[in-house]
A and B are shown apart, each in its own frame.
Chain A
Amino acid sequence: MKDLFVSSSPHIHSPEDTPWIMRQVIYALIPGALIGVYFFGIPAVTVIAVAVVSCVVVEALWQKLTGKDITIADGSAVLTGLLLAMNLPSGSPWWLVCLGSLIAIIVGKQVYGGLGNNPFNPALVARVFLLISFPVQMTTWPQPRSFFSQAADTVTGATPLGALKTAIFEHGTVTAAPHLNLMDPFLGNIGGSLGEISALALILGGIYLIVRKVISWHIPVCYIGSVAVMTGIFWFINPNMYADPAFHLISGGLMLGAFFMATDMVTTPITNKGKIVFAIGCGVITVIIRLWGGYPEGVSFAILIMNALVPLINKATKPGKFGAV
């Protein structure tokens, strides 16, 4: 008789492993990425390709140099690259993208011991690092146009949230901002990061993840819900100073953040109760930054700040065990 395998029970396993999860998230990001490519053209393709390839290369090199097992096959570096690309302006120069990958993989993930040990979302660490270090490149937003009418000269302009902030600073009222047809950010016809422009595409991807049970509804619903409620209250109090909640929901990085960044398993609480606390915290901080902060957008900062609180949230929301006495 040939040798038998011996191990502790259980002897069967769900087919849904870590690479499967990473693949599902990548699939779910594809609609948003395609919209970015449609409206921003070849430069968007370049940013995505450079980000994904450089993330994988950096991870492999780091693991080789530090003598660890090379884990690029788990798909997490590909996903980090794709998420990073979707959080960058579509006109980002190649060196900026590569620098972002370096920061995401090494500072964001590997120094903590690799996948599973990082406290902060790697793609967001890189995005915020770049935003603070290279404010000009990181806030130069090419304007959208159809893929089939791309010209050599790129027109840049403000994002809807940026225009809103400018209107408040210069005119003291949000009504001075250029009127925005809400169908534009819904479908993606606005300025912004490569992958955040179409709320519709991102919601579709998010629903896919919830249906496949890759993520639960708790974080997206509570994050988006708390932004809606809070911006709604202030809009109700003073519609001259505060934009309406529909505007806040579908412009900026909220959908990308709520469905894809704030749901990163590694950097979010482990229980559903904890996820709700985390998501509401993200919503409140996002709104505070958007309404009263110096930056027009607060999703990245909000998620990173809440990432830091995850151990505390986990401790506070530990489930009561069965038969507790």
Chain B
Amino acid sequence: MKTFKGGIHPPEEKDLVKNNPIVDLPLSSVFYVLVQQHLGAPAKPIVKPGDEVKKGQPLSEPLGFVSAPVHAPTSGKVTAIAKRVHPVTGLLAPCIVIEADGKDEWVEGLPLNRDPFTMKKEELMGAIQSAGIVGMGGATFPTHVKLSPPKEKTIDTFIVNGAECEPYLSSDHRLMLEQPERVLNGMRIAMGILGLNKGILAIEANKPDVIKIMEEKAPPEIMVEPLKVKYPQGAEKQLINAITGREVPSGGLPMDVGAVVQNAGTCAAIWDACAHGIPLIERITSVTGRGIKHPKNIRVRVGTPIQEVIDFCGGLTEAAKIIYGGPMMGIAQFSDQISIMKGTSGVLVLTEKDTNISWYSGCISCGRCVEACPMCLIPSTLSKLGEKSMWEMALGNDLLDCVECGSCTYVCPANRPIVHFVKHLKALQRAANAKKKGA
């Protein structure tokens, strides 16, 4: 079975939630829609307090190509454009507050019913761009940008990432199992846009039910590729490497080796946008971990307050950490005054026993991080440089090649927060660059 070099085998912990069918979260009475839910140029709100909005109506206007709008998750009234904690940056960020009217009425004309396979490429791209679709695995890069590589790059490989290698999470698992057509049809649309007549759906072998159903349903141009269970199998560069044997060059992008990768959830959103004109206003999220009473896979509107999600799942048992995303790359939250975003693949509540709260000691040069690193770096050196804030020297030790997957940190017997040090070094480097540009 195909895989990549390095990596780790953390406990999967998916049994907590993987057998729970997707359930709809009841409509919230108030929604907090952050304006910036993508990676790239900002967007600006186009509604003001007091405005009546309908479900699916755009709330913001992207400023630039690498940007994405957000849409009203339900019908109601904009009560404020306030500052709320952004779960990714941890900073206060502009947020459109909508009081739901309970009618959940679509904006005029939606949903459409059209055949995307008769539509032109430009129409499809327009539908995806205006639907505000971003990478739903968590990276939130605008999807229309990924689907429009520059002319000089020849794309010959399209991979849909259904690896879901993060422990605990099962949102992609449930989506692919329960709604395989949405994923496969979205895939076919993306293949059409890229001008390819074949695509690969990559799934980790720990989801045999999904592999079976996809092999049954997939049209001949889509190949289902089971992958070895190993973290970070779903990391973009590792996934491309496992399937094609190619290595995305240092500092480069997947398109440099002719590949485009989209998450399975993103494909489902592409289908909704192209076939029905529905913008990205809801997603499937795993609410799991031993800190939550009744783990569930939920279909939830973007902007739903986290408190409602937690209450719907029976509340907390004991919460040491609340994480957006999985335990390997997810972001620990310091507040419960946050809402669901387009990239929230999971709301993970870890108990103190299940997480890692302890101090670190000196590196014992055991080399476990070197063995684990899927990018073939020397993480121990980066961690020592990070401890001393020596970012310039770290650049020479391939700082910028680190994908922050956390494999090194997971295995480090001295419990060194290597990813933390790497992020610290990268931040220092960014600050120095910004200063240089300013001066």
- Which chain A residues have a beta carbon within 8 Å of chain B's beta carbons? 1-2, 4-14, 16-18, 20-21, 71, 74, 113-117, 265-272, 275, 318-325
Contacts and interface: CB of A to CB of B under 8 A. Distances in A.
B413 A18 contact: yes
A21 B366 contact: yes
Contact of B370 (A1, A2, A16, A270): A270
A132 B385 CA distance: 38
Contact of A12 (B356, B361, B377): B356
Given A10-B328, A11-B355, A13-B415, A320 B376 contact: yes
B20 interface: no
Contact of A21 (B8, B350, B409, B413): B413
Contacts of A270: 365-367, 370, 378, 380
B83 to A, nearest CB: 20
Contacts of A8: 332, 417, 419-420, 423
Contact of B362 (A2, A115, A271, A324): A115
Contact of A323 (B237, B350, B352, B355): B237
B357 A5 contact: yes
A116 B364 contact: yes
Given A8-B420, A12-B167, A265-B365, A323 B250 contact: yes
Nearest to B411: A14
Contacts of A7: 321, 332, 357, 417, 420
A275 B411 CA distance: 19
Interface stretch (B126-134, B140-148, B213-221, B398-406): B398-406
Nearest to B257: A323
A114 B364 CA distance: 10
Given A116-B364, A117-B362, A265-B366, A9 B376 contact: no
B230 to A, nearest CB: 14
22 contacts: A4-B321, A5-B352, A6-B334, A9-B406, A10-B406, A11-B328, A12-B10, A12-B167, A16-B413, A18-B415, A20-B413, A21-B366, A21-B413, A115-B362, A115-B364, A116-B361, A117-B362, A265-B364, A270-B380, A271-B367, A319-B370, A323-B248
B363 interface: yes
Contacts of B406: 9-10
B320 interface: yes
A324 B420 CA distance: 24
A307 to B, nearest CB: 11
Contact of B355 (A5, A16, A74): A5
A6 B322 CA distance: 9
Interface class of chain A by DSSP: loop
B251 interface: yes
B336 A116 contact: no
Contacts of B371: 272
Interface in B383-419: 398, 401, 404, 406, 409-415, 417, 419
Given A1-B336, A320-B376, 19 more contacts: A2-B319, A5-B355, A6-B334, A8-B332, A10-B327, A10-B419, A12-B167, A13-B356, A14-B10, A74-B361, A113-B362, A116-B361, A269-B367, A270-B367, A319-B377, A319-B378, A323-B250, A324-B249, A325-B250
Given A9-B331, A10-B329, A17 B414 contact: yes
Contacts of B412: 13
Interface string B311-332: 0000000011111000111111
Contacts of A113: 362
Nearest to B329: A9
A267 B378 CA distance: 16
Contacts of B10: 12, 14
Nearest to B10: A12
A20 B413 CA distance: 8
Contacts of A12: 10-11, 167, 327-328, 350, 354-356, 410
A265 B5 CA distance: 22
Contacts of B374: 322
A119 to B, nearest CB: 10
Contact of B322 (A4, A9, A71): A4
Contacts of A115: 361-362, 364
A185 B370 CA distance: 37
A17 B415 contact: yes
Contacts of B420: 7-8
B206 interface: no
A278 to B, nearest CB: 12
Contacts of B356: 10-13
B330 A9 contact: yes
A6 B333 contact: yes
B241 interface: yes
B252 interface: yes
Interface in B210-268: 237, 241, 247-252
A114 B419 contact: no
Contacts of B411: 14, 16
Contact of A5 (B320, B362, B398): B320
A11 B380 contact: no
A272 B366 CA distance: 11
A21 B361 CA distance: 14
B368 to A, nearest CB: 8
B275 interface: no
A2 B248 CA distance: 44
Contacts of A18: 361, 364, 413-415
B375 interface: yes
A321 B376 contact: yes
A270 B319 CA distance: 38
Contacts of B251: 325
A271 B370 CA distance: 7
Contacts of A20: 413
Nearest to B333: A4
Contacts of A265: 364-367
A275 B365 CA distance: 12
Contacts of B252: 323, 325
Nearest to B397: A318
Contact of B376 (A17, A114, A272, A319): A319
Contacts of A114: 362
A268 B365 contact: yes
Contact of B401 (A21, A275, A322): A322
A10 B412 CA distance: 11
Nearest to A12: B327
